[in-house]
Structure 1
Amino acid sequence: MKKIFLVFSITISTFNFSQKKASKFSVDYNKNIETYFLAEILSAEHRRNNKDFELYKIKECSTYQPIVKKALDQYGYLKNSPIAVATAELNDIIMEKYGLGNDALMQSLVYHKEFPSNDWLNVYHFEFSRLNETQNKEVTDLIKNYLEKLSKFYIQEKIETFFNENKDFYQGAVYEYNKQIPVGFTDAMEQFYGEKFNRYVVLISPMMMWPISDGEGRGIGANLVLKSVAKNIYEIASPFVKVEKEGQFGYDNQFQARFLSVHEFGHSFVNKEVNKRSANLQNFKNLFEKSNLKETMIKTGGYGDYETCVSEHLVRLGEIETAKIQKDFERAKRLEEYHLKNNFIFLPQLEEKIKEYDTNRVQYKSFGDFVPQLLEVFENSNIDFINSELEKVKK
Structure 2
Amino acid sequence: MPKSILTFIAFFLSLVIHAQYEKQLSKNISLSINENFETYFFAEKLAVEHIGYYVFSNKDSRYDHQPLVSHAAAHFMKWKDSDVILKIAAVLGKLRPILNDNSQILEYLWYCKSFPKTGFKYSVPKDIAIKDPVKYPNAEVLVQELTELLNDFYKQAQVGEYIRQNKNYYQGAMKEAAKDIAVKSIPFEEKWYGKKFLGYIFILMPGMPITEGEDNYRAFGIQLETPKGKMPSMVFSSSVMIPKKENLSDYKQFGFDNKEVTKFLTVHELGHSFVNPLLHDFKKEIDRDTILFTPKLKKHLENSYINNWDNCITEHLVRLGEIRTAKLMNDKTEEERLRKEHTVTMGFVLLPFLENHIIQYESDRKKYPDFRSFLPLLFKSLDTLKPEDIDRMIVN
Q: Secondary structure at the match of 1:27?
A: strand
Q: Secondary structure at the match of 1:91?
A: helix
**8 Å Cα contact 1:194-1:366 kept in structure 2:** yes
- Aligned residues, how many? 369
**What residue in structure 2 maps to residue 15 of structure 1?**
23
**What residue in structure 2 maps to residue 174 of structure 1?**
174
Q: Secondary structure at the match of 2:23?
A: coil
Q: 1:43 to 1:260 in 2, by over 3 A?
A: same
Q: Secondary structure at the match of 2:58?
A: helix
Cα displacement (A) at 1:241: 1.4
C-alpha separation between the residues in 2 aligned to 1:384 and 1:43? 51
Cα displacement (A) at 1:312: 1.9
Cα displacement (A) at 1:112: 1.3
**What residue in structure 1 maps to residue 311 of structure 2?**
308
C-alpha separation between the residues in 1 aligned to 2:253 and 2:197? 32
Q: Deviations over 1:141-178 (max 9, x none)?
A: 44333222222222222211221122111111111111
**8 Å Cα contact 2:21-2:170 kept in structure 1:** no
**What residue in structure 2 maps to residue 85 of structure 1?**
90
More off after superposition, 370-379 vs 32-41? 370-379
**8 Å Cα contact 1:126-1:140 kept in structure 2:** no
**What residue in structure 2 maps to residue 3 of structure 1?**
none
**What residue in structure 2 maps to residue 211 of structure 1?**
211
C-alpha separation between the residues in 2 aligned to 1:248 and 1:242? 10
**What residue in structure 2 maps to residue 364 of structure 1?**
368
Q: Deviations over 1:22-70 (max 9, x none)?
A: 521121111111222223333435558x7696438x727x121111111
**8 Å Cα contact 2:65-2:212 kept in structure 1:** no
Alignment of 1:204-243 (within 5 A): 204-211=204-211, 213-228=213-228, 230-243=229-242
Q: 1:215 to 1:299 in 2, by over 3 A?
A: closer
**What residue in structure 1 maps to residue 4 of structure 2?**
none
Normalising to structure 2: TM-score of the pair? 0.82
C-alpha separation between the residues in 2 aligned to 1:47 and 1:381? 49
Matched, 1:59 2:64: no
Q: 1:152 to 1:125 in 2, by over 3 A?
A: farther
**What residue in structure 1 maps to residue 7 of structure 2?**
none
Cα displacement (A) at 1:183: 4.3
C-alpha separation between the residues in 2 aligned to 1:104 and 1:309? 23
Give the alignment partner of residue 349 of structure 1, picking from 339, 349, 353.
Answer: 353
C-alpha separation between the residues in 2 aligned to 1:120 and 1:105? 14
C-alpha separation between the residues in 2 aligned to 1:306 and 1:11? 44
**What residue in structure 2 maps to residue 198 of structure 1?**
198
C-alpha separation between the residues in 1 aligned to 2:208 and 2:258? 17
**What residue in structure 1 maps to residue 110 of structure 2?**
110
**What residue in structure 1 maps to residue 289 of structure 2?**
284
Q: 1:138 to 1:82 in 2, by over 3 A?
A: closer
Normalising to structure 1: TM-score of the pair? 0.82
Q: Deviations over 1:105-164 (max 9, x none)?
A: 3321211121112121222146379x9675578443443332222222222222112211
Question: Quick one: which amino acid aligns to residue 365 of structure 1?
Answer: P
Aligned residues with identical type, % of pairs: 30
Q: Secondary structure at the match of 1:315?
A: helix
**8 Å Cα contact 1:12-1:29 kept in structure 2:** no
C-alpha separation between the residues in 2 aligned to 1:308 and 1:120? 33
**8 Å Cα contact 1:291-1:383 kept in structure 2:** no
**What residue in structure 2 maps to residue 271 of structure 1?**
276
Matched, 1:69 2:70: yes
**What residue in structure 1 maps to residue 6 of structure 2?**
none
Question: Quick one: which amino acid aligns to residue 39 of structure 1?
Answer: A
Cα displacement (A) at 1:90: 1.3
**What residue in structure 2 maps to residue 4 of structure 1?**
none
Which ranges of structure 1 fall in alignment gaps of 5 or more residues?
1-8, 96-100
Q: 1:37 to 1:333 in 2, by over 3 A?
A: farther
Q: Deviations over 1:247-269 (max 9, x none)?
A: 21112121211111112221111
Q: Secondary structure at the match of 1:59?
A: coil
**What residue in structure 2 maps to residue 318 of structure 1?**
321
More off after superposition, 28-37 vs 330-339? 330-339
**8 Å Cα contact 1:275-1:307 kept in structure 2:** no
C-alpha separation between the residues in 1 aligned to 2:162 and 2:297? 45
More off after superposition, 355-364 vs 22-31? 22-31
C-alpha separation between the residues in 2 aligned to 1:190 and 1:212? 36
Q: Secondary structure at the match of 2:342?
A: helix
C-alpha separation between the residues in 2 aligned to 1:387 and 1:104? 37
Q: 1:35 to 1:384 in 2, by over 3 A?
A: farther
C-alpha separation between the residues in 2 aligned to 1:128 and 1:378? 32
CA-atom RMSD, angstroms?
3.0
**What residue in structure 2 maps to residue 42 of structure 1?**
46
Q: 1:283 to 1:200 in 2, by over 3 A?
A: same
C-alpha separation between the residues in 2 aligned to 1:72 and 1:273? 42
Cα displacement (A) at 1:192: 1.0
**What residue in structure 2 maps to residue 6 of structure 1?**
none
**8 Å Cα contact 2:361-2:368 kept in structure 1:** yes
Larger Rg: 2
Question: Quick one: which amino acid aligns to residue 203 of structure 2?
Answer: L
Cα displacement (A) at 1:84: 2.6
C-alpha separation between the residues in 2 aligned to 1:312 and 1:141? 33
C-alpha separation between the residues in 1 aligned to 2:308 and 2:111? 28
Give the alignment partner of residue 327 of structure 1, picking from 327, 330, 333.
Answer: 330
**8 Å Cα contact 1:206-1:239 kept in structure 2:** yes
C-alpha separation between the residues in 1 aligned to 2:112 and 2:307? 30
**8 Å Cα contact 2:218-2:237 kept in structure 1:** yes
